[in-house]
Amino acid sequence: MPHFQWFRINTNLVIMIITVAIFAGCAGPPGRHPAAEKPADTGKTPQRRPPEIVIVDANQTAAEGNLKKAASMLEELTDSHPENIKALKLLAKIYSNLGKEDESFTLWERVYKLNPYDPDAAYETSKKLRYREDWSQLRSRMRDLEKKGAADRRHYLMIGRADLRLGYKAEAEKYLLKANGMKEADLLLGKLYYGRGRYSEAQKAFQKTLRKDKGNYSAHIYSGYIYYSRKRYAKALEHYRKALRTRNSSQANLCLAAVHQKLGNYSSAIEYFEDGLSKNDPRGTNERKKAYNTLCRLLIKRGKTDRAYSVIRRGIREFPDSGGLYFYWGTALFKDGFHARAKDKFKKAARDPSWKEIALKKFHSIR
């Protein structure tokens, strides 16, 4: 190709490039990149979203069931904003739902330090005082919250519970009534009224509890007590049976045994007494001691002395100073013809002041 022709072609190319450059320069500043495109790396830290937006998003995420993701969002936020109470409270609730109770409680303590009059933080942190049975401190903290006008039914219930433990029964009633509508408040009121002999009011409180919780063990047990005291044994039996279905406890079995004994159903009474005494909850109570005595008496009366001996030995291990058990031991031995051994048991029974008179009478009757 001739040299001239190569130069002309390249000259035309240069003219075209210059023309494009001129028109590009006249077109104004370049437009913004679309939002979907990755921004140029300027070396600067991306701007964080406002905390309020993060909290809203985390709350929505938690509501959709993704608790771990919500927790992660809030953990990042509380690291950068350690005094954001809304974020701390939401994260504490999410931790609780995740079963991370220790972490949840730590966050509630942080909130309480930031604002001792936050109703939720005051309530949650006071649970530890309840577990420690520090009733004076618990009562004081809740009363301070009340003075600030920040207390609600939860806090009134805590005050009422503390008052009961501290023996302030009149004040306890006032606060439990202020906690109106809470299931535990009704139950505690019922127990308070029962203990003060106000059985009609107690019964109404237990009925309110059972309307909210049909299987409430304590409400059924106490309702049974009230009907039993009024000799309405069929109604007592109904409540004790429901209590037993809720919790197969020593208490429920012994209550059923007592009712069956009153009704003359001795076989059933013996069965429930044995079931109740076979359980160790709670050991060493006066009710269990009475139950051992009654069961032994029923067994001996029905000629079941072998079973009575077994029950007596078990009872003596639990109540080594029980005059009643030694008395019935002597009664069984005398019935089986072991008079000398029976005298020895009656002598031991006489060491118990409440059994002394009857035991000595039996002792001296044996020749």
Spatial separation of the C-alpha atoms in residues 277 and 254, rounded to whole Å: 8
pLDDT at 48: 75
Q: Which two tokens stand for residue 239?
A: 């409540």
Sign of the four-CA dihedral 239, 242, 246, 249 = positive
Q: What domains can be seen in the chain, in order of their start residue?
A: 198-282 (1.25.40.10), 294-367 (1.25.40.10)
Sign of the four-CA dihedral 344, 348, 354, 356 = positive
Q: Which two tokens stand for residue 261?
A: 């004994």
Spatial separation of the C-alpha atoms in residues 367 and 349, rounded to whole Å: 18
The predicted-structure confidence for 213-260, as pLDDT tens digits, reads as follows: 999 999 999 999 999 999 999 999 999 999 999 999 999 999 999 999
Residue 337: pLDDT band (50, 70, 90) is: very high
Reduce the DSSP state of residue 314 to 3 states and report it.
Answer: helix
pLDDT at 181: 85
Residue 46: pLDDT band (50, 70, 90) is: low
Residue 237, burial from CB neighbour count under 10 angstroms (0-12, 13-18, 19+): buried
pLDDT at 281: 79
The better pLDDT of the pair 14, 195 is held by 195
| pTM listed for this prediction | 0.77
The predicted-structure confidence for 313-335, as pLDDT tens digits, reads as follows: 999 999 999 999 999 999 999 99
| In the predicted structure, residue 1 carries a pLDDT above the cut 80 | no
pLDDT at 14: 33
Q: How far is CA 126 from CA 21, 96, 203, in A?
A: 75, 16, 30
